[in-house]
Structure 1
């Protein structure tokens, strides 16, 4: 994970956000696109963008979750994290891109494209060599996982997902010898009937189990760094004794509705609550889903928000 106080500012945004209307499928072949590495020709893979069932051209702006049209973004040569299975000479190679059940195991390797061999040496950031995020395409399900690496470079982790359907896996890591980290993404399907949910409405507060509530203050902006403060309360009282989780009082992931462009934002150094502040830059205008992980009373909890970047 990136260790700076703010996420790397993107120069501009990608050409357009992708449509996300997915049909209801009865089997796994209907719920997920087949994604393969583009830069690892030696593995016989070829990257493909997810196929839409709306009849729109690939890469054109379509309707987002909940029937809201996604706004087109200015053209850019900079691609946000998580949109590519291969980048900067590395490839995320999932052993299986389909799970037969909602509970199973994710196994993968990070390969060096020049040699085709798995990477076995990583920098440790926030206590882990690699952080794995799994999110549903409709952005209603989210998992922050920490897989275990075997000596041969194979990563594995158990996973329990709430519904069948279409997911995306994000690997956030820094290979040893590299100055900057990177985030690679790949599609993952879970067998069963897929009924995507509408994206939750914009809100500045999120209720979490056991009486917790999180409020977000500040505005996410496209192409401009801005500060977001997320304040935690329980039973109406501010929480001032948040516990460190992976070396910080909170971890924030933002995913863009449509193509699931990935932003991982680390907090400023600060007090253990109630507010945890972040500096973030959205790659484009549009709708984003924020996921905040925080730890209190020995348990890690997640608060989710839908926000709009101006």
Structure 2
């Protein structure tokens, strides 16, 4: 993914059967409000490309025309299919996820991709209750098969998202598939809304509100031991990487910050600024990846689109493991 802002929404519902172990069913169409079309500006060697399914940066750091109909709701879209070959894994055990992106017209695995944000493909795995999140960077074999190690701590239903752009394609797309994690299952409540998230001694404070329509700006300020962090390190071509997932159907927003390292105006903290628009009102979980002192950490928030808080207990301080 190129630097700039891209929002790709996706969702699916799942039928689950619980006993001593958990099994996950096939996704069904979500119930979602129709949203207005949007543009997304990505920078490619100084040129801007508009992605119709995304919210863009207008060049001044402001949101574009709002979020379009959520993408990523399908396992197949625009001539490509996500072939998830690992549909079930065991809880709290490191295993490899294997998958391929298949070109529908030929039935062959895609083997050539455009790099976006330093990677050919980004893989997101999230639990249905939004308490577990992984951003993985899988490795592609010559035959187009991708794989990545992952350890998911608890049983339940998960969603796997592949975000990529095939070589020669005009725009990126996100495909989603269901993953079942076997083991005893106990669903958790969504963590409550708090303006500050704690992770590994860092405090990350969220300013601004996630809004529908034209959207708005979000700023996340990073501090460590009470002091602002001003030496954030570039990660995936930016100082922060933000993903938002809508509670209930896991509609997906992939947000990137305004500005890039080395552009002469974007500072390395403490604030990381994003332009974002939600596809509908509702409760969302935000996952911010940031890099400091050589390690990537994730700060997590619960917010309500249009700026209203979602009450509940303060989430415990914890480190979110990664596959980076």
Give TM-score scaled by structure 2 length.
0.78
- Name the Cα RMSD after superposition: 2.3
Deviation per CA, 1:51-102, whole angstroms, max 9, x where unpaired? xxxxxxx756xxxxxxxxxxx6347795413221111111110112111343
2-structure distance, mates of 1:207, 1:101: 25
Q: Which has the higher strand share?
A: 2
Structure 1 residue 117 corresponds to structure 2 residue 77: no
Deviation per CA, 1:152-186, whole angstroms, max 9, x where unpaired? 00000000111111111010111011111111111
Deviation per CA, 1:224-274, whole angstroms, max 9, x where unpaired? 221100110011110000011121110000011111011111111121100
Pairs within 5 Å for 1:59-208: 59=30, 73-74=33-34, 79-102=69-92, 103-208=94-199
Tell me the SS of whatever aligns to 1:115.
coil
8 A contact 1:83–1:259 mirrored in 2: no
2-structure distance, mates of 1:20, 1:306: 22
1-structure distance, mates of 2:73, 2:278: 14
Q: Could you tell me how far 1:8 is from its partner in structure 2?
A: 5.0
Structure 1 residue 278 corresponds to structure 2 residue 274: yes
Consecutive unaligned residues in structure 2, runs of 5 or more: 38-67, 260-265, 307-324
User: What's 2:25 paired with?
Assistant: 33
Q: How many residues matched? A: 269
Deviation per CA, 1:197-221, whole angstroms, max 9, x where unpaired? 1001112110101x10101111111
Consecutive unaligned residues in structure 1, runs of 5 or more: 35-47, 50-57, 61-71
1-structure distance, mates of 2:120, 2:8: 23
Deviation per CA, 1:100-137, whole angstroms, max 9, x where unpaired? 34321100000011111100000011111001011010
User: What's 1:221 paired with?
Assistant: 211
